[in-house]
Structure 1
Amino acid sequence: MSKEKPESEITAIEGLLLPQDVFLSYGVHIGTKIKTGDMEPFIYKVRADGLYILDIRKIDERIRVAAKFLSRFDPPKVIVTAVRLYAKEPVARFCEVTKATPMIGRFPPGLFLNPLYPGRLEPDVVLVSDPRADSQAVREATEIGIPVVALCSTDNDFTNIDLVIPTNNKGRKALAVIYWLLARQILRERGELPPDGELSVPIEEFEVKLVEKTQQE
């Protein structure tokens, strides 16, 4: 990890799942002003304003690894959680495309553990949008021995996480493009899309829509 480099030095990376400038425009590389030891290998630099920047090559690499791993499971047995507002629409769209099962909003205690819970879920793998916000899902998955895949920013640690996707896990646009890419790559791994095939759903459909509030006179 370097202390400071011009943005121009992180351009012209070839062979990515999306062009470098698209990754940058969606802010997937923007971390926080906190760095955990676990996330150190995924950090590219720290900016002058104190924000840690993630390595786009490693983001791309982990999307591929996670897609290959998740593609092995029966789609409805892949549970995807989203407590944070900006994760909700990306998760909903991801699950529509991949046929995974969404768990959007508050995660009720006992959803995985309590056999008497109405609507109990029995996952084979869990994908969480933020291991801190989705901590209840992580705890319950761990208790029943289910692997956990997590989107992690620079301030997350890897407690009870089996596979990490380093990314900005708080930004509206960043979450949209990460879930879109992961969905596309999973379909490619399953053979439902050719190796260079594209989703019929654009990235913009994965974004939470901002609604302007107007005052009533």
Structure 2
Amino acid sequence: MKEEEEKGELLVSERIYLLDGVHIGTQKKNADMKRFIYRVREDGLYVLDVKKTDQSIRFATSLLAKYKPENILLVGVRQYARVPIEKMSAILGAKSITGRFMPGTLTNPEAKQYLEPDLILITDPAVDEQALKEAVVVGIPIISLCDANNETKFIDLVVPTNNKGRKSLALVYWLLTREVLKQKGKIKNYDEFKPAVEDFETKI
């Protein structure tokens, strides 16, 4: 069966979402994420609804595509977020911060690393807390990847996903990149998008 036939209305097939662990949540649930949870496994792990993940990626890319790439900031403290963020940043021309987010980056004009983005995309509101706080202070739209245990307060657009896994982060950032290019008319079809998901994946 061809990939296009298999995936139906999804951006990639449900099988690929599941193989890359996008649906794997946590054993703790935040009430904010209840609407994105598909079921609870016998071991207590909350499973995310990949159809809602897919839909949210579409919403996120529609918003991202409205901004100039250089005015978008991608943020991720997590180790497995660095490669996908840097890849998306390089392809789109967006700014990125991986590793420690220095206090004052968005709020202190005197800071050496001061930036004035129009929109921010963060990987995990729990560990990217400093970036989230500063984005709230300066009043810019916030898109965030969120797992089952995340609080979504102050987040304008939630992308429900496993935001800790190496493969899941690679797939989600790959899809975000591809769909933004499609929205902007930079590629006419998916065949023109040459990077592979593996290019967005942290090597171990």
Classify the TM-score, shorter chain. Answer: over 0.9
Deviations 1:123-175 (A, max 9, x none): 10000000111010000010011111000000001111111000000000000
Aligned length: 199
Once residues 54 and 118 of structure 2 are traced to their aligned partners in structure 1, the CA distance between those partners, rounded to angstroms, is 24
User: 1:135-154 alignment to 2 at 5 Å?
Assistant: 135-154=129-148
Q: Which runs of 5+ in 2 are unaligned?
A: 1-5
Q: Which residue of 2 aligns with 1:89?
A: 83
More helix by proportion, 1 or 2?
2
Report the CA distance between 1:13 and its aligned residue.
6.6
Which of 91, 95, 98 is residue 92 of structure 2 equivalent to?
Answer: 98
User: 1:25-174 alignment to 2 at 5 Å?
Assistant: 25-174=19-168
Identity of matched residues, %: 44
Q: Which amino acid aligns with 1:16?
A: L
Report the CA distance between 1:197 and its aligned residue.
4.4
Q: Which residue of 2 aligns with 1:200?
A: 194
Q: TM (normalized to structure 2)?
A: 0.95
Q: TM (normalized to structure 1)?
A: 0.89
Q: 1:113 to 1:96 in 2, by over 3 A?
A: same
Once residues 174 and 51 of structure 2 are traced to their aligned partners in structure 1, the CA distance between those partners, rounded to angstroms, is 17
Deviations 1:33-90 (A, max 9, x none): 0111110000000011111101111000000000000110110110000101011111
Deviations 1:86-115 (A, max 9, x none): 111110011111111111110000011111
Q: Which runs of 5+ in 1 are unaligned?
A: 1-11, 211-217
For the pair shown, which has the larger CA radius of gyration, 1 or 2?
1
Q: Which residue of 2 aligns with 1:189?
A: 183
